[in-house]
Amino acid sequence: MGGMPENHDPIRLLAIRDTPLSLDEVYEAVGDDAAGGTTVFVGTVRDHDGGRPVSVLEYSCHPSAERELRRVAAKVVADFPVRALAAVHRVGRLGITDKAVIVAVSCAHRGEAFAAARRLIDDLKHEVPIWKHQVFADGGEEWVGAGDC
């Protein structure tokens, strides 16, 4: 990352929490004077999946999830000119419209920020061991895990 001080750590915030997520906290974490573009993605709980109404949604994770989240973030930082990066994911029981995940990336330019944020959320969903348990209104249920999203 040209122009960054040696001690500059672009990974500013990574967490898996059982409490509500703050968009302001994540956005503020990626603030950087050299960033001309910041991309934020918010994943929310919707009231349906695959055409079926969802009544209950719970996320759980493996004890290694935060370590894997850091590995994913480090790969994004290695592959893109990231000024700052943040990612938080919620676990526990969530309601419709609750924030399940927020990622943000700031870079010198918008295109880089979009690309890095896209890679961050995609890799998080495919590689970090977090599972979603959905209970549908018809009584059926489904588990979706890392790699299935």
pLDDT of 64-89, one tens digit each?
Answer: 999 999 999 999 999 999 999 999 99
Closest CA to 130 of 65, 46, 74, 67: 65
CATH number, residue 84: 3.90.1170.40
In whole angstroms, how large is the CA radius of gyration of the chain? Answer: 16
Task: Give yes or no for a contact between 98 and 44, defined as CB atoms under 8 angstroms apart.
Answer: yes
pLDDT of residue 7: 59
In DSSP notation, 95-107 reads -TT-EEEEEEEEE
Domain that holds residue 117: 11-144
CA distance 88 to 90: 7
Q: Which of 6, 18, 28 is nearest to 86 (CA)?
A: 28
* Res 5: pLDDT: 47
Contact in structure between 108 and 36 (CB atoms under 8 Å): yes
Strand partners, 13: 86
The domain tally of the chain equals: 1
Residue 112 CA to residue 140 CA, distance in Å, equals 41
Residue 52 within any structural domain of the chain: yes
The model's pLDDT over 9-53, given as tens digits with 9 standing for 90+, comes to 999 999 999 999 999 999 999 999 999 999 999 999 999 999 999
In a domain, 90, yes or no: yes
